[in-house]
Amino acid sequence: MQYKLQKIKSDASFREFFRLFKGKKTSIIVTASKEKFKNLTAYSTINKFLRRNGIHTPKLISQHFNEGIIEIEDFGHKTLLEDVKKSKNKFIYYKKCIDVILKIQKIKPLKRIKIRSNKFLRLNLYNQSNLHKESDLFFKWYLPGIAGKGKLNKFKKKIRNELNKLYKKIHFRSKFIVHRDFHVSNIMSVKKNFGIIDTQDAILGNPMYDVASLIDDVRIKVPSKIKKRTFQYYFKKCTLENKQIHLLKNDFDILSVQRNLKILGIFFRLYKRDKKPHYLKYLPYTWKLIELRTKNKIFKNLSILLSKAVNKKLRNKKNFK
């Protein structure tokens, strides 16, 4: 049997991916230079847990955790992003994605998932501290990088205090399995099924987080009517206790803004620290999404502060020297 290894385009993590050809069969080799536990052990464990509960994730074929290598099932080349871009009826795909989210949310949440007989993976909770830890990336990387340390010193405390007030307004409890990066680029088209990848950051969180991640995806510009229909479809189908659309919408908006402030920080870090400038192209649309959600009256003070800290010209900037 002939073996051949082909490098696959890497993502924003410390992993590298290779397609292994074994005759007519293929598999994926994942290597991790850093954060091996999260990128290999946690990833494999969460995949197995989700698969046991009916979610189509890659099977672990072989593992060499100490050496930083695992071999997993190959879901092919095609992400859902390609299908959505080509389709005239994008809502069909978003509807099916919501169905997957709802299925994940019906899984009994476990604080600990067994890795092996005496070792467990503990899922973190999306509490106030973790929400701030993520949105603080905006202050650590993006704001000083694009607007300067003067703006950082002037606005960090004020913006962070406003975010703190908003995080306290989140209504629904963090008791659901949250993928944490659920968008069409992390969903593979596998025959008639959806293959879910990049599960390693799963957490126990608010039911609207993955919905916001899907609908307000910075990588693809989706018409507002599709965004609204997708949100309404979730509201109609979800079985949350005491569900009220304004409470769901407030949680959605807060988590979308939180996530996109985090993304501004992460993508600027990818450019500055990791020498991956292609992520800068997403920054202007990330701001568009923040502006869309901060139209909600609960964001009045935050919207004013963000406008003073980062003006329109800076928000549209995507080329840096």
Angle (CA) 81-82-84 rounded to 5° is: 65
**Positive or negative CA dihedral for 58, 61, 63, 67?**
negative
Q: Which fold has domain 3-73?
A: Phosphorylase Kinase; domain 1 (3.30.200)
Span 290-307, pLDDT tens digits: 999 999 999 999 999 999
pLDDT at residue 242 greater than cutoff 90 = no
pLDDT grade for 126, boundaries at 50, 70 and 90: very high
pLDDT grade for 235, boundaries at 50, 70 and 90: very high
pLDDT grade for 12, boundaries at 50, 70 and 90: low
pLDDT at residue 321, rounded to an integer: 65
Q: Which fold has domain 80-315?
A: Aminoglycoside 3'-phosphotransferase; Chain: A, domain 2 (3.90.1200)
pLDDT at residue 192, rounded to an integer: 77
pTM: 0.94
Cβ-count burial of 249 within 10 angstroms (0-12 exposed, 13-18 middle, 19+ buried)? middle
pLDDT at residue 117 greater than cutoff 80 = no
d(CA 92, CA 186): 17
In 117-258, DSSP assigns E strands to 119-122, 176-178, 187-190, 193-196, 203-205
In 103-169, DSSP assigns E strands to 112-116, 119-122
Cβ-count burial of 232 within 10 angstroms (0-12 exposed, 13-18 middle, 19+ buried)? exposed
Which residues are within 8 A (CB) of 184 and not within 5 positions of it... i.e. 6 or more apart?
A: 79, 80, 81, 83, 84, 93, 97, 214, 217, 219, 220
pLDDT at residue 13, rounded to an integer: 73
pLDDT grade for 21, boundaries at 50, 70 and 90: very high
pLDDT grade for 2, boundaries at 50, 70 and 90: confident
pLDDT at residue 24, rounded to an integer: 84
pLDDT at residue 1 greater than cutoff 80 = no
d(CA 71, CA 40): 10
Tell me the mean pLDDT in the region 209-213.
98
Q: Where in the chain are the domains?
A: 3-73, 80-315
Span 40-70, pLDDT tens digits: 999 999 999 999 999 999 999 999 998 999 9
